[in-house]
């Protein structure tokens, strides 16, 4: 963005949405580590006139635990300010009367406590990490292939993310595996789905063009925001450095 465009953009802003992993902190062993300057940046945004929300595709913990981790790192963040895919998919399941088979991280399971899971009629996958075993993938596949019209919800569609000890495959890779095996297309809940960003905008009560989305993922953060009419800005932390242009 040219200098003048940028100044104009900042003047018209009423709100900012921040991606979290790779922008505020790098995930990894022991919960990860904050990125230099990010605690102070959040503090300054909160002290400004701008509305602030956090938007993450994090599905390795409940929002409560996730926010508690970030607060321990020094971030002033409340659960009500954080938007993540699990509560969004729970809302969709209830609306459509669907019973999920879950292929997710153990630590995000409590988000689905109130959801009927017997005799599953769809599959929900998240960033399941080590739970992406061959056996668990086959169990999810069996539920899908046994349905007349297989329904797969994917909490995000990221290719990979950065942990402190290197890049890790994200849920999008496993979404593609199940899509291919069953010849279906998953319904993505989370970034970059427009419905997901819209729910954040509704909560802020502002127009898309008044909001800047800041993230480290060119497709899911910047691209997704721009498709909704927001402005998008890519930081040079998180997965940015290690990503070649063709692989983002």
- Residues making contact with its own copies (CB under 8 A): 128-135, 137-138, 141-142, 145, 159-160, 166-170, 172-174, 176-183, 242, 246-247
Nearer to its own copies by Cβ, of 69 and 176: the residue is 176
Residues 99 and 117: their CA atoms lie apart, in Å, by 5
Nearer to its own copies by Cβ, of 95 and 135: the residue is 135
Minimum CB separation of residue 204 from its own copies in Å reads: 32
Nearer to its own copies by Cβ, of 65 and 176: the residue is 176
Minimum CB separation of residue 171 from its own copies in Å reads: 10
Nearer to its own copies by Cβ, of 80 and 133: the residue is 133
Sequence-separated (6 or more) residues with CB below 8 Å from residue 140: 101, 103, 123, 125, 178
Nearer to its own copies by Cβ, of 145 and 195: the residue is 145
Minimum CB separation of residue 184 from its own copies in Å reads: 8
Among residues 112, 66, 52, which one has the least CA distance to residue 88?
112
Q: Extract the runs of DSSP E, i.e. beta strands, from the chain.
A: 15-18, 25-26, 33-34, 51-55, 82-83, 100-103, 122-125, 152-155, 160-163, 166-169, 187-189, 211-215, 231-234
Minimum CB separation of residue 248 from its own copies in Å reads: 8
Minimum CB separation of residue 140 from its own copies in Å reads: 9
DSSP state of 37: T
């Amino acid at each position: 963005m040219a200098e003048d465009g940028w100044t104009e953009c900042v003047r018209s802003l009423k709100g900012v949405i921040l991606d979290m992993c790779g922008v505020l902190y790098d995930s990894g062993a022991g919960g990860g580590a904050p990125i230099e300057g990010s605690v102070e940046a959040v503090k300054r945004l909160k002290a400004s006139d701008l509305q602030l929300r956090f938007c993450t595709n994090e599905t390795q913990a409940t929002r409560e635990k996730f926010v508690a981790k970030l607060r321990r790192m020094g971030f002033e963040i409340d659960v009500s300010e954080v938007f993540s895919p699990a509560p969004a998919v729970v809302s969709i399941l209830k609306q459509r009367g669907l019973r999920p088979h879950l292929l997710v991280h153990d630590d995000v399971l409590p988000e689905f406590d109130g959801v009927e899971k017997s005799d599953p009629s769809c599959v929900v996958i998240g960033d399941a990490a080590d739970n992406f075993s061959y056996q668990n993938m086959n169990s999810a596949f069996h539920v899908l292939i046994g349905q007349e019209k297989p329904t797969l919800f994917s909490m995000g569609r990221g290719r990979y993310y950065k942990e402190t000890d290197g890049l890790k495959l994200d849920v999008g890779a496993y979404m593609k595996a199940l899509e291919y095996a069953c010849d279906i297309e998953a319904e993505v809940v989370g970034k970059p789905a427009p419905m997901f960003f819209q729910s954040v905008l509704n909560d802020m009560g502002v127009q898309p063009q008044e909001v800047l989305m800041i993230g480290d993922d060119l497709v899911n953060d910047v691209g997704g925001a721009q498709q909704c009419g927001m402005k998008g800005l890519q930081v040079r932390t998180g997965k940015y450095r290690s990503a070649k242009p063709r692989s983002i």
